[in-house]
Structure 1
Amino acid sequence: MRRVLILGGTAEARALAAELAARPATHVVSSLAGRVSNPRLPVGEVREGGFGGPGGLAAFLAEERIDALVDATHPFAERMTASAAAASSATGVPLLVLRRPGWQEGDGDAWHRVGSLHAAAALLTTGLRVFLTTGRRSLPIFAGLPGVWLLARSVDPPEPPVPPHVHVLLDRGPYTVEGERALIREHRLNILVTKDSGGQLTAAKLTAARELGLPVIMVNRPPLPPGVRLVDTVAAATEWAAAQG
């Protein structure tokens, strides 16, 4: 019985779990970080919560006799990817990283790419009304900017207290271009700050920003650990995992 551990609760992780679970002699374990309430659960065995760092993940790989490890976490889950690389190196369990392709700037877009959330915050000046879609954990980086009003959208609420110049919108994609246009107009937003997460689930905001002439501050993805193998499709990850063990 081939045993595959999939890290992450992304749409790609769920699709990969479904593909592998349908394969003969394959047992799939999906690990969710537990940071999102009411997550969409994949098929197969599911565990929630962290491993306690690279050592804990390495111990889990050994104890559960895992044959293949697939990191299908969010493209910005830098710490988890580093732990996966370290645990793979320590145990010899082969590792593959599955990441959806990033977004690409097109005609009519006005993007400014930056290397970090702090670099994005440094570009925001007094008088801006910001559509912020970088996740609830990043809110403290932006909340202290003087004269900047924020519409911060996230799946779960941020830690209180929330400053009065921050309006939190709890919502989960997929989103539509029509809905994003209406949101931008309703709140008189004039700039979008987002992370290069990729995928179609939340891409409508980029189309709406282009149509309404909003500039976009795009935070680039963190680099992968050296030597890590990367694929960008579920099909490629399925074939790789099925060949292990």
Structure 2
Amino acid sequence: MKVLVLGGTGEARALAAALVDSQDHTVVSSLAGRVRDPRLPVGDVRVGGFGGPRLLAEWILEHGVHAVVDATHPFAERISASAAEAALLAGVPLLVLRRPGWPPRPGWHWVDSLAEARLVAERLGDRIFLTTGRQGLAAFATSDRWYLVRCVDPPDAPMPASAKLLLDRGPYTVDGELALLCDHRIDVLVTKDSGGPLTAAKLDAARELALPVVVVRRPPPPAAVPVVETAEQVMAWLR
């Protein structure tokens, strides 16, 4: 069985390794190409977009793919929608692999968009630690607050006028995050509900310092597509 894994996450890399180890499957992992130096999975890797759901469906048929697993980031809403439409067009089964979100904690302020996150954060403080990724910075560009912006790669979108850019990649430690928050006198943390342990240390640090946290809710997965949380569950589904 040939499996196309739409990846870029730790869960996608774990799934690719499990598929290669099983010797019952061939796997092609597709990365969007938005990160300059991505962590590559084992097996065949394809980098770059497909050009929309119809071209993705054509690629699936031309390459003899039997099943598609959407293991992209929980906030990759456009890619997930494209995958759902393409799988339907190609007539192949689709499964969504999503790590669970973070358990809610006291002091969290839940919002549905980055625009709402900005408004809430500005009411809560003046020095904001922004960890929502480089693609959503436009929502904060006209803010008059001071921001510490942490991204993996340099952003293309305009940044707030008063901001410091920190290029870094997890995993992070609680001690390191505590030092970062204290050194920059942060009084609000803004993040997305990405889930997983890779960047969770900032949440523990914020709780220790009693800082408010603004959390952007995840978009729902495509309708009528089954969702699992682990690579083991994907393997069971394939069997």
- TM-score, normalised via structure 1 length: 0.94
What is the Cα deviation at residue 149 of structure 1? Answer: 0.6
Question: Which residue matches 2:214?
Answer: 217
Question: Which residue matches 1:173?
Answer: 170
Q: 1:32 and 2:31 equivalent? A: yes
Specify whether residues 134 and 161 from structure 1 end up closer, same or farther in structure 2 by C-alpha distance, changes over 3 A only: closer
Distance 1:105 1:162 in 2: 29
What is the Cα deviation at residue 105 of structure 1? Answer: 1.8
For each residue in 1:3-27, what CA deviation from the matched residue of structure 2 results, as whole angstroms up to 9, or x when unmatched? 0000011000000000001112311
Gaps of 5+ in 2: none
What is the Cα deviation at residue 164 of structure 1? Answer: 4.0
Question: Which residue matches 1:60?
Answer: 59
Gaps of 5+ in 1: none
Distance 2:130 2:11 in 1: 24
Q: Secondary structure at the match of 2:122?
A: coil
Q: 1:117 and 2:105 equivalent? A: no
What is the Cα deviation at residue 224 of structure 1? Answer: 1.4
Superposition RMSD on alpha carbons, in Å? 1.2
Q: How does 1:1-245 map to 2 (within 5 A)?
A: 2-106=1-105, 109-125=106-122, 128-146=126-144, 148-159=145-156, 162-241=159-238, 243=239
Stretches (4+) displaced over 3 A? 160-164
Distance 1:176 1:125 in 2: 27
Distance 2:48 2:175 in 1: 36
Distance 1:160 1:176 in 2: 28
Asked whether the 8 Å contact 1:97–1:228 carries over to 2, the reply is yes
Distance 2:116 2:157 in 1: 24
Distance 1:13 1:201 in 2: 14
Asked whether the 8 Å contact 1:143–1:166 carries over to 2, the reply is no
- TM-score, normalised via structure 2 length: 0.96
Asked whether the 8 Å contact 2:135–2:157 carries over to 1, the reply is no
Moved more, 94-103 or 157-166: 157-166
Identity level (%): 59
For each residue in 1:54-94, what CA deviation from the matched residue of structure 2 results, as whole angstroms up to 9, or x when unmatched? 01110111000100100000000000000010011111110
Asked whether the 8 Å contact 2:137–2:159 carries over to 1, the reply is no
Q: Secondary structure at the match of 2:233?
A: helix
